[in-house]
A and B are shown apart, each in its own frame.
Chain A
Amino acid sequence: MITYIIKRILYMIPTLVLTSILVFTLIELPPGDYFESYVNELRAAGETVDPKLIEFLRTEYGFDKPIWERYFQWATGMLVGDFGYSFEYELPVREVIGDRLLFTILVTFVTIIFTWLIAFPIGIYSATHQYSWGDYGLTFLGLLGLATPNFLLALIMMFLANEWFGTTIGGLVDPEFIGQPLSWAKFVSVMEHLWIPVIVIGTSGTAAMIRRVRANLLDELRKPYVTTARAKGMTEFRGLMKYPFRMSLNFFIADIGGILPTVISGAEIVAIVLSLETTGPILIQALQSQDMYLAGSFLMLLGFLTVIGVLISDIALAFLDPRIRLQGGVSR
C-alpha cells in the first residue's frame, strides 16, 4: 500500500511537468503580450505612451529572452512558491490570489457539503422508493434546479433578499470588513452572505448528484447480496447502509478528483453576478488582459489540484474497496 502511494506520487511529477509546458505554451500562443494590450488600451483612451518605458518594462520582466528560458524561470520559480508578477495588479501573483483563495475555498466547501447533505438522503429515498410519488416529485424538483441557469437564480435571489430582508447580498462580507482581520463580527457577516451563493451554486450540483446517487444505488439494490442481508434478518435500513450504499459510494469517491479543481475555478459567472470576492472572476479577467503570469499560475493550480484530487480519490478507493487494494495489476 505504501509503495503504491509513493509510486503514485512519483507518477505525478511527469504529469505536472507536462501540464506546465502545456499551460505555458497556451498562454504564449495568442499574438502579443500584456504590454501590447496595455499600450493598446492606453492609446484607445487617447493617452500617449513612452515606447522607451515599455521597452524597459519588457527587459525588466525578461520578455526579450527566448521562450524556453522564460518557461524555465517561471517553472522553477513555482517550486519555491514564486508564481511571478501580476502586471495588472502590480503585485506578486501570490498576493493577488492569496486573500481570495480563502474565500473561494470557504464558499466551495460549504457548497459541496450542502450538496451532499441534501443529495444523499434524497437520492437514497428516490432509489428505495423508485417510481413512487415521492421519487417523481423530488426528481422533478431536482431537474428544475438543474435546468435553471445559475446566474438567473442568483439575480432572483438578490432581488428577493433585497425585497424581503433588506440586505444587499452582493459580495461575501459587508464592505466595511474588507481587508480587516478576522473577527467575530466579520465571521457573522460572512455567514450572513454565504448562504445565497451556496444555494445558488449548490442547486444544479445537488440535482445532478441526486440522479447519480439514485442510479448507482438502484444498480446495487438489485444485487443478490442485498437479498442475502435480508435473509440474514437485517432490517432494511441497516442492510441498506452497510451493503448497497457503501458499494454505491465508489462513484462518488472517484468524483473527488473532479471536485477539487472547481474549488478555485467553479461558478465564475455566479461570482461575477453576485460580485463575490472569489478567484473565479480574477481568472477570467487575467485571461482577457493577457496577464500571463497570473493566468498561468491559475491554470497551473487547477492542474495541480486535479492531479492531487485524482490521487486522493485513488488512495481513498484503495482503502475502501478491497478489490482495488488486493487485486489488479493483471494484464493481457
Chain B
Amino acid sequence: MSEPSKLLQVDDLKVSFKLQKGKLDAVKGVSFSIAEGEVVAIVGESGSGKSVIAQSILRILPKNASIDDGSILFCDPKANYKAVDLTSFESTDDYLYEVRGGRISMVFQEPMTALSPLHTIGNQVEEALVLHHEKSSSDARSETEEILRLVGFPDPARGYSMYPFELSGGLRQRAVIAMALICNPALVIADEPTTALDVTVQAQILGLMKELQKKFNTAILMITHDLGVVANMADKVVVIYHGEVMEAGTVDDIFRRPQHPYLKALIAAIPHFDMKENERLVSLRDTDASGLTKTIHKLSSQFRAASPENMDGPHLKVENLRKEFVSTKGSWFGAGDENRIVAVDNVSFEINRGECLGLVGESGSGKTTVSKLIMKALEATSGSVHLNTGQGMKDVLGLEGRELMDFRRRVQMIFQDPYSSLNPRMTIQNILNEPYVIHGLANENSQQDDILDLIRLVGMESNCLNRYPHSFSGGQRQRIGIARALALHPEIMICDEPVSALDVSVQAQILNLLNDLRKELGLTSLFISHNLAVVNYVADRIAVMCQGKLVEIASREQLFSNPHHPYTKSLLSAVPYPDLDRLLDFETIKYTSSVEADDWGMLFKPSAEAGLESIRVDEGHFVLANCNCNPSDLRAL
C-alpha cells in the first residue's frame, strides 16, 4: 500500500482570545498533520486549547477569538488534493460554508445540547445533506434514513421523526454521528464524542466510529482527555498542554515509549486495574503536604473520639431498600394513568467500620438514589437502613427531630459538581462555618481554630478563607466541599462521583486526599462512581448496580478477577484501558454486550416459579440470580 496522501496540515497555529484585560494565548504554535483515512487524537486536560484547535480548523471560533498566525492547509481529495489554506478566508466565505459539514464535519461532546430540541432528528440530519447537495425531498429522506440505519438506529423511519429528548444518550450521539457523516466528508472532527456517555455506550459508540471510519475511509481528528479512548482509537497522538504540543507520535511511541515528563506524569496519574494494594497515584502537580499531615494527626484523635468506640457488626446496614417514583400523565381530575418507576429495587448491603464500599453503575442505575435514601433526603418506599451507634443498631428511616439532627452530624456527603454545590454568595469562611451554626455548635473562641484546621486538612492555606468559591479551580473547590463535609467530625462519608467533573491530574490529587483522610481519620465510606478504575483505587469492596438492582457485590480482587454476573462482565469489558495490549474488542462488545436485562442468561432472569435472590458464590461474593439456580452453576461461569 502506498503512503496515504496528506489531508490536513496544521502549521504553527496560534490562536488568542481577546479578554477585558489583555489577551489570552490559547494555542501557541501547534503543528500536526492528518493523512487520508487516519485517526489522529489530540489529548489534553481542560483548558489546554484542544477544542480551540478544532474550532479553528472549521473557522467557527467564538467572536472574541482570532487566529494570529500559522496556516491550516486542507487538501480535499475531491478537488484533486489541491492545498487550500483555510485561514486565508473570511469566516463567512462561501468556500468555508462548503467545507463545513460538507468536507469537514464535527461530532460534539454533549449530544443533548448539540441538537436542537425543537426539530426532529431527521430534520437536523437531513439539513446537512440538503445544504450541500441538491436533493429532492424524498431522496433526501431516504438517504437520511439510510445513514440512520448505518449508525445503528433500530427503526430509522421512526427515528427520523423523533425528537432528541425522546432518545437515549447513546442514540442521540449516533444521530450526531449520522449528521457528521451524511455528506461523506473527508475529515470528521470528534470533540470529546463519548465523554458524556456511560462506559458501555461509550464502547459501542467508539466501535461504531471505528467501523464507519474504515468503511468510508474517513479521517478522524479525535479530541479527548481520556488516554484509554486514545489507545483504542488513534493511529497518531498529539499531546497538548497549555496550548503547546508536548509530544507527538504514533500511538505505539506514545504509550510504549513516552518521552516528555508531562506525558509520563499524565499516564501515571490514571488509576488502572493492575494497581497493588496501597500503591499511590502519582499526581501531576503535587501539592504541599506538610501542613496536611500535621493537621491530620491533630484531628485524627478528635475524629476517633467522636465516633463510637466499640462496635459489633456492620457500621451501616441497608436492607431491602426500595424506592418508587410515580409520574402521572397529565390529568387534573381523578387519578390519571400512574406510571411507577422503580429506581431502587430490593437493595441490601452492609458497610463495616472503616471500610470503603464502592457503588458502581451507569446513569439511571439508582446509585445516587440509594445515597439519598441513606441520607434520608428521600423517603424510601420500603426497606430499612440501620446505623450502628455503638449501643445497638438505630433505624435511620424512622428518625425525627433531635435524633435526626444527630444522625446528620454522623453522616456527611461530598458532591459531584464542585461548582454548584458551593453557594457562590458565601465566603469559604462562611461555608465552613455553616455546619457548626446549623448544629448549634458555634463557639466564638475555638471556632476559628477548627476552621483553620479543616482548611489545612484538605491541603489549602488559611488565606483563602475570605475568598468566594468562584476564585478557585475545580479541584480546590472539591477540597472545600470535603472540608465542609468533615467539619462535624462525621463517622460516615458518602462520596457521590466526587472526581467525575475533574481533570485526570486533579482527580489523582483528590483521590489521594480522600484515601489519606479516610485511613487516618477512620472514616467509613460509601463511594459512588461510574468509573470502575476509580472505584478500584479507593474501595475495599465493590457493589454493582443495574436498573435499580444490586447485581453483584464482592471484594475488590474477587470482582475484578472473577466477575460472575453478565452485567458486571460487560461493564468490565467496556472500559477502555490506556494500554495497547488490552484493547477493547469492539466485535464482541457489539454482539455480546449484556446491558439489557433481556440478554442475561437464564440463570440471571426471574422465572415463573422463582424470583431473583442474592446468591453466595464465595466468601463475601454475592450475585443476584434466579432463586432456583445452583451456586455451583454460577461458580462455573
**A interface residues, Cβ below 8 angstroms from B:** 4, 7, 11, 223-225, 227-236, 242-243, 246-247, 320-323, 326-332
Decide: A235 near B97, CB < 8 A? Known: A246-B118, A247-B116. yes
- A254 to chain B minimum Cβ distance, whole angstroms, is 15
Q: Which residues of chain B come closer than 8 Å to A7, judged between CB atoms?
A: 330-333
Residue B568 interfacial (CB < 8 Å): no
Give Cα distance in the complex from A332 to B327, angstroms. 7
**Chain B residues with CB below 8 A from A236, complex form:** 92
A263 smallest CB distance to B (angstroms): 28
Contact: A225 with B328, CB < 8 Å? Answer: no
Closest 7 CB pairs of A and B: A233-B101, A329-B330, A232-B101, A233-B100, A231-B106, A330-B327, A224-B113
Chain B's closest residue to A228 (CB) is B114
B503 at interface by CB-CB < 8 Å:
no
Contact status A322-B163, CB under 8 Å: yes
Q: Would you mind naming 6 contact pairs between A and B with Cβ atoms under 8 Å apart? A: A228-B179, A231-B58, A231-B100, A233-B98, A329-B327, A329-B329
A328, B115: Cβ atoms closer than 8 Å: no
| Partner among A227, A234, A246, A331 whose Cβ is within 8 Å of the Cβ of B127 | A234
Q: Known contacts A225-B116, A231-B101, A232-B101: does B163 contact A329 (CB below 8 Å)?
A: no
How many angstroms between the C-alpha atoms of A309 and B97 in the bound complex?
A: 42
Q: Which residue of A lies closest to B131 (CB)?
A: A233
Q: Once bound together, how far apart are the Cα atoms of A235 and B102, in whole Å?
A: 13
A331 and B132 contact, CB distance less than 8 A: no
Q: A327 CA to B163 CA in the complex, in Å? A: 11
Complex Cα gap A234–B99 (Å): 11
Q: Is B326 an interface residue (CB 8 A)?
A: yes
Contact of B152 with A by CB under 8 A: no
Residues of chain B whose beta carbon lies under 8 Å from any beta carbon of chain A: 55, 58, 60, 92, 97-102, 105-106, 108, 110, 113-119, 124, 127-128, 131-132, 163, 165-166, 176, 179, 325-333, 336
The answer to whether A243 and B116 touch across the interface, beta carbons within 8 angstroms, is: yes
Q: In the complex the two chains form, what is the Cα distance from A229 to B180 in whole Å?
A: 11
With A231-B101, A322-B163 already in contact, the answer to whether A223 and B113 are too (CB < 8 A) is yes
Determine the main DSSP class of B at the interface with A.
Answer: mixed
Indicate if the CB atoms of A231 and B113 lie closer than 8 Å: no
Q: Do residues A224 and B163 form an inter-chain contact, with CB atoms below 8 A?
A: no
Q: Considering only CB atoms, which chain B residue lies closest to A8 in the complex? A: B332
Shortest Cβ distance from A218 into chain B, in angstroms? 12
The answer to whether B110 touches A323, judged by C-beta atoms less than 8 angstroms apart, is no
- Contact present for B102 and A326 (CB under 8 Å): no
Q: How far is the CB of A69 from the nearest CB of chain B, in Å?
A: 31
CB distance from B336 to the nearest CB of A (A): 8
Q: How far is the CA of A331 from the CA of B117 in the complex (A)?
A: 21
> Across the interface, do B92 and A331 meet the contact criterion of CB distance under 8 Å?
no
Residues in A whose Cβ lies below 8 Å from that of B165: 322-323, 326-327
Q: Which of A224, A247, A329 contacts B108 (CB 8 A)?
A: A224
CB distance from B18 to the nearest CB of A (A): 12
Knowing A224-B114, A247-B118, A323-B163, say if A232 contacts B128 (CB, 8 Å).
yes
Q: How far is the CA of A328 from the CA of B101 in the complex (A)?
A: 34
CA distance A228 to B60 in the complex (A): 10
Inside 8 A of A227's CB, which chain B residues have their CB? 55, 60, 108, 114
Which listed residue (A230, A232, A322, A329) contacts B179, Cβ 8 A? A232
A37 vs B336: C-alpha distance when bound (angstroms): 53
Assess the A320–B118 pair: CB atoms within 8 A: yes
In Å, the complex CA distance between A328 and B166 comes to 12
B110 near A224 (CB under 8 angstroms)? yes
B402 → A minimal CB distance (Å): 28
The chain A residue with its CB closest to the CB of B176 is A228
Cα–Cα, bound, A243→B127 (Å):
12
- In the complex, are the beta carbons of B60 and A329 less than 8 A apart? no
B98 contact set on A, CB distance < 8 A: 233
How near does chain B come to A280, taking the closest CB pair, in angstroms? 35
User: In the complex the two chains form, what is the Cα distance from A235 to B60 in whole Å?
Assistant: 11
Say yes or no: B117 contacts A231, CB within 8 Å.
no
CA distance A227 to B97 in the complex (A): 13
Complexed CA–CA distance, A321 and B102 (Å): 29
Known: A228-B179, A229-B116, A233-B132. 14 other contacts (CB 8 A): A227-B108, A228-B114, A230-B58, A230-B60, A231-B106, A232-B128, A233-B101, A243-B119, A247-B117, A322-B117, A322-B118, A323-B163, A329-B328, A331-B326
| Distance of A295 Cα from B336 Cα, bound (Å) | 41
A225 touches B127 (CB 8 A): no
Name B115's closest neighbour in chain A (CB-CB). Answer: A225
B102-A233 in contact (CB<8A): yes
Question: For residue B115, which residues in chain A have a CB less than 8 angstroms away from its CB?
Answer: 225, 228
State the CA gap A230–B108 with chains docked (Å). Answer: 12
